[in-house]
Amino acid sequence: MQARLTANDLACRRGERLLFRHLSLDLASGEALHVTGPNGIGKSSLLRILAGLSRPFAGKATREGRVALLDERLALDEALPLGKALDFWRGLDGTQDFMPIEKMSLTDLLDVPVRYLSTGQRKRAAMARLLGTKAAVWLLDEPLNGLDDEARVTVERLAAEHCAGGGVCVVASHQTFAVESKRVLSLSDYAS
Amino acid sequence: MRENGKNPLRFLMLLHRDLALLLPGGRGEAGVLPLLFFLAVAMLYPFAVGPEPELLARTGGGVIWVAALLAAILPLERLVAGDLEAGMFDQLHLRGISEEWAMVSRLFAHWLAFAPLLLLATLPAAALLGLSGETTAIVLLGLLAGTPGLAAVGLIVAALTASLRGGAALAGLMTIPLAVPILIFGAGALARSDTSGLWLTAAISLALAAVAPLAAGGAIRAAREQ
């Protein structure tokens, strides 16, 4: 898996406020980065810029390989059973693989409408959607929120496996995230 | 990557989901309400102006047009806003499906979800108003030509107001002036002996439908930057 994620002198503005500036990073295959910082410092904004979903105020972000983003928004149809809702993305991603659903232990929940899922279950569903993309670059925004210990370990292990397989993983979280040989970027250092 | 968005199979999957969302009886909230609203207007009109057949036959076509325009506003609230909140367009974008392309699918689905049933409902509405067969035919042809334009205007406005609080009410107000050209030529065809009004309505519709995905896609991208 070939992956690379670079950012050059990024700055991000939200409204009238400059959140961070002069941020550069370069992640090659197999590297993981943990973005830390207090609430509102711009972790989610950074991930959205890295994903190419929003434009930085200054600087440039480039990506090699497909990008997948996990954030607080589930992007699953609330009224549909989980299985059907995931099927839409599985169809678009062209995968018949049941592995993501099993890995996130969602097999028993496939008939449950998405709107009845708990916070942790929703997070697991979003993770299954992310696994299905087979993307090289993972951008995880608070992936451990609401997860129980077991699911937490699973997500950390999956991220480690992803990096070991040559992927790139960026985790934005104020919690600890146990992945070996990760780099840590404290966004407070770039605050203006 | 980006070319993948034009893979016809993926477009069909997108259209399939959009239709499931928007068709009456589907997951969308609007359902058959716009149709009932449309029929209610046709039913109430004779009560308001009196049952004179001559008056009804002369003005009924125009009433159907106004009712159709207002009915087209009702489904706009959830047309784009729900998916924007859910992050659907973000996830599509990451899969190389541009916002414009997603809006092409949404436009088709929106038209298919409301226009054919509206045309069907025009028949009982025309009967309630006592329209002649000839007038009914012109109304039907006019609506057939005009509804793609109404759907396009609706989509643009729904995308523009999707990220706003109270966007639904604003959507209604914004749709009306944009839909006036369609109304003028579509309803105007009733007063003419030739078909030029219908052709002009169709031309406006096509132009609006061509512009709508670009405008709506741009609106969704702009909403992200907020």
The pLDDT tens digits for B167-226 are 778 888 889 999 999 999 999 888 887 888 999 999 999 999 999 999 999 999 999 887
**Model ipTM?**
0.93
Looking only at the bridges linking them, the beta strands covering A4-14 and A58-64 are antiparallel
- Six token digits for residue B203: 């031309």
Asked if B86's CB is within 8 angstroms of A74's CB, the reply is yes
Kindly indicate the confidence band of residue A179, based on its pLDDT and cuts at 50, 70 and 90.
confident
Q: Residue B150 pLDDT > 90, yes or no?
A: yes
The pLDDT tens digits for A67-93 are 999 999 999 999 899 999 999 999 998
pLDDT at B30: 62
Closest chain A residue to B29, measured at CA: A79
What type of residue is A11?
A: A
- Beta carbons of B160 and B99 less than 8 angstroms apart: no
For the residues of B74-113, what is the DSSP string, one character each? GGGGGTSHHHHHHTHHHHHHHTT--HHHHHHHHHHHHHHH
The pLDDT tens digits for A22-53 are 999 999 999 999 999 988 889 999 999 999 99
Chain A, residues 114-143, CB within 8 A of chain B, namely 129, 133, 135
**Chain mean pLDDT for chain B:** 89
Average pLDDT, integer, range A151-175: 92
Looking only at the bridges linking them, the beta strands covering A67-70 and A137-141 are parallel
Instruction: Please name the residues in contact with A94: beta carbons below 8 A apart, sequence gap of 6 or more.
Output: none
pLDDT at B3: 45
Question: Which residues on A lie below 8 Å from B27 (Cβ)?
Answer: 77, 79-80
From the list A75, A79, A88, which residue is nearest B13 (CB)?
A88
CA angle B25, B28, B31 (to 5 degrees): 45
DSSP state of B191: G
Q: Residue B78 pLDDT > 90, yes or no?
A: no
The pLDDT tens digits for B41-52 are 999 999 999 889
Asked if B95's CB is within 8 angstroms of A133's CB, the reply is yes
What range does the domain containing A71 cover? 4-190
Q: What is the CATH number of the domain that holds A102?
A: 3.40.50.300
A·B CB contacts under 8 A: 56
Q: Residue B6 pLDDT > 60, yes or no?
A: no
Question: Which residues on A lie below 8 Å from B95 (Cβ)?
Answer: 92-93, 133
Burial class (CB in 10 A: 0-12, 13-18, 19+), A119: exposed
From the list A52, A55, A92, which residue is nearest B10 (CB)?
A92
Structurally, chain A folds into a number of domains equal to: 1
Asked if B225's CB is within 8 angstroms of A77's CB, the reply is no
Asked if A75's CB is within 8 angstroms of B87's CB, the reply is yes
Question: Which residues on A lie below 8 Å from B14 (Cβ)?
Answer: 92
Kindly indicate the confidence band of residue B62, based on its pLDDT and cuts at 50, 70 and 90.
very high
Asked if A48's CB is within 8 angstroms of B86's CB, the reply is no
Percent of chain B with pLDDT over 70: 94
Q: Is A88 on the interface with B (CB under 8 A)?
A: yes
The pLDDT tens digits for B154-173 are 999 999 999 887 777 888 88
